[in-house]
Amino acid sequence: MAFAMTINVLFFASLKEELGLESMTLDVHDSFCNRAELLELLQNKLGRERIAPLLMENVAIAVNQTIEKADFTVQTGDEVAFLPPITGG
């Protein structure tokens, strides 16, 4: 079965370190996917324990460099970035 789309996924800062990945590409059979479907794809590829840091409430998700506050839909060629909470002092 051919894939309908490809999504580029980026991980930043502590998330990159925890996952041991800077980026990955997900091939999706549908023409779009929402937040829950994206997380399920990541879980299937990386495992539930490994993606646990991405599920934390304070992790931001950006689609094409726009922070998403609620559910979202991604389409082929979109870039999804997982951003840890910003801290500083």
- CATH number of the structural domain spanning residue 35: 3.10.20.30
- Write out the residue range of the structural domain in which residue 76 sits: 5-83
Q: How far apart are CA 5 and CA 32, in angstroms?
A: 8
Which residue type sits at 3? F
Q: Would residue 39 count as lying in a domain?
A: yes
Q: Which pLDDT belongs to residue 3?
A: 66
Q: What is the pTM of this model?
A: 0.89
Quote the number of domains for the chain. Answer: 1
User: Tens digits of per-residue pLDDT, 26-77?
Assistant: 988 887 899 999 999 999 999 999 999 999 989 999 999 999 988 999 998 8
Q: Would residue 45 count as lying in a domain?
A: yes
Q: Would residue 89 count as lying in a domain?
A: no
Q: Would residue 88 count as lying in a domain?
A: no
